[in-house]
Structure 1
Amino acid sequence: MTDYQQIFKSVNSATRKLPVLTEENIVRTLQSLRAITLENIALILEANRLDLDKMDPNDPKYDRLLLTEERIKNICGEIAQVESLQSPLNRILESKTLQNGLDLQKISVPLGVLGIIYEARPNVTFDVFSLALKSGNGLILKGSSDAAHSNQAIISIIHQALESNNIPKEAYQLLPVERSATKALLEAVGYVDIIIPRGSQGLIDFVRQNAKVPVIETGAGIVHTYFDETADITKGKAIIHNAKTRRPSVCNSLDCLIIHQSRISELSELIEPLIKSSVKIFADERAFTKLEGKPGVEKASEEHFGTEFLSLQMSIKTVSGLTEALDHISEYSSKHSEAIISENQDNIDKFLKMVDAAAVYANASTAFTDGNQFGLGAEIGISTQKLHARGPMALNELTSYKWIIKGNGQVR
């Protein structure tokens, strides 16, 4: 039987040594990781193939699980971007001298030990390690059985990079795939500082309901785009198609198109690129009357609204105006990413102010909700909550702060 408490204790102990690492040592380790990864692409792909062989290619998680040579090279590019970013540690956030002569400084520090629970996304193993190392945090990873071989291959490469640069590998550990490991991690009070789940709404709900360690929610995206009465149809076609089809299995992909009733006559033209891309569409009654007979179009039922499809499927909702669009988004949104396509500045301003989401767009695809796209490097995930961090969680979001007080004999 695995001694989880001993693993947690070991990670916690090794993590205490990380804040004194030099920036040069951290960068050198990430460079080593990139080099070792590129040398072992074949090994990683072989391990990934063992995982893929166990999964139905039609499963929405298949694309998330899939690694290719190009994707691995892109991951290395993201690690290089993390290398180049300024360290988030030891920044002076506030400084003052009190009347009694005490000097106070508020400085940024690591969160401590991060517990990451994630599903079939082996790229997460690379991403969160590079961010954790750069921000001085330890890391306990709990991947799913779907990606067991891939994650094991990746953590072995990470450990090689750490050992070659004299950084304790004990601070960065991958737990076994057994469910007992998840339970142990969620209850690791005193050893783990933050739990961050990445995956389906079901996973996130389970973690939130069962964790005794503080949780930051990330991942689930029920995404809407509102095409209003003034929207440019050329922009709309491109934005909607990109938001749905660029990579439908990820959390920033479009789930529901909301269209103003005055534009319903143009709906067929608006979704033509989606039809050509074999997107299955669930249209409400008003939209269905304009689309009936088109391939892949069906009548929507209540279950098709508020659904994160994670595949080439989406719904369409017809509304009478901005107020109804905002009400629909408020009812069904997961507060991840929402967009408006409009040429009316008043509508845009109202939408941007009133929509409660981590990322709110005007005339752009929601596919941009991503730490790398925001210039933050790799990300831990997209936080959909309001405490501590919101939106892409990158280096700065992996820090807390503490007060440093220097005196010369003062007493109170």
Structure 2
Amino acid sequence: MKTRSRKQDKVNIITLGCSKNLVDSEVLSGQLKANEIDVVHENEKLDHNIVVVNTCGFIDKAKEESINTILDQVDLKRRGKLDKVYVTGCLSERYRNNLEDEIPEVDAFFGTMELPLILKKFGIDYKAELIGERLLSTPQHYAYMKISEGCNRTCSFCAIPLMRGAHTSRSIEELVTEAKRLVSMGVKEVMLIAQELTYYGLDIYKKRMLPELLNRLADIEGLHWIRLHYAYPSKFPLEILDVMKERPNICNYLDMPLQHASDNMLKAMRRQITKAEMDDLIYQIRDRVPGICLRTTLIAGFPGETLDDIQVMQDFLTQHRFERVGIFTYSHEEGTSAHDLTDDIPAEEKERRAQEVMEVQQEISYEKNQLLIGKTFKTIIDKKEAGRYIGRTEFDSVEVDNEVIINADTPLTIGEFANVKITKAYDYDLEGEVVK
């Protein structure tokens, strides 16, 4: 098939997986757009001729979704609907050789750190000066900002270091520049993401520098909310909490994946922390920042996990009453140290255990939400659906946490803030009305 000239190219980027992948896609979009190449995210008009699939390779379900998406795009190419199909991201990084053999119709595969090579396919060079020049795929009022890449941890279940490499921090100056540029684009909320947020700065500054970064970001005029995702509990830098308490535009919100609560499992997972140490850390966090929203994620079904271990996890949730909890079932990933263990728990049992744990959290979430009725919260308006506005408080991140369904007599502006009084509460969502 004859490929259209570059002036006619329109590129569609399909992003799978986590918010880190989303940022990578946005950066790619910014580079293409700066070079006058038409680019869109998740194009529904199907008027593009080139596709870049940014894949996820984290767990089995994500890998399956990535493979199916690639095959769908290859089928479109086979039927003459596309000229080129490129594949990048974690799955491509991890299984490139296999994918090249099994899906030869893909025009090229790229790893997670090969953006310049992708751009070469379009006849352009990477422009380092385009810090923050991203084509946002999120609504204009919020954005994710990746402060580092990779991870130095050796958690036995995790394949991320295989796909993303060692921890590499971005400089404070670069991040401040990017945040200012995002604010100039209309962004009011920045969600800081990293595989290991609290490790930030150790590689380039020889000490943990997240508190300094937070202070510098909090100084940016027009940046209303700064949200922290993916903090590691071992050797947690408590001074982060002091900055959070002092700076009003840093949300009283911390996403800290703990993965389990049983000492047996924590040791097998190589988490470098005990349950007693986690207990102490959580008490310190709540003491230093009263009213903080703590979010965590857990894993059910790790090799050797017993029903007693699941009970410990449930008791742990009852003890600490986290505001937000997510749970994954264990995925047996080649290349990880846990892959040497026997994956001895059937998939159905993993799911049953995860559901059992979430039933405990569901009750906790309902009880905590009931306590919010009658209280008023600063709420950002995210969207309008079925005639009602949907927003979030500072205690809720995008997609994974509570939403506030808002009944408003007068029109609200998407991306602006409103004071909302909570009138009803459910397991995971709230209803409220705007108050002056």
Q: Same fold (TM over 0.5)?
A: no
As a proportion of its length, which structure holds more helix? 1
Question: Taking CA–CA contacts closer than 8 Å with sequence separation of 6 or more, which of the two structures ends up with the larger relative contact order?
Answer: 1
Which structure is larger by alpha-carbon Rg, 1 or 2? 1
TM-score (norm 2): 0.29
TM-score (norm 1): 0.30
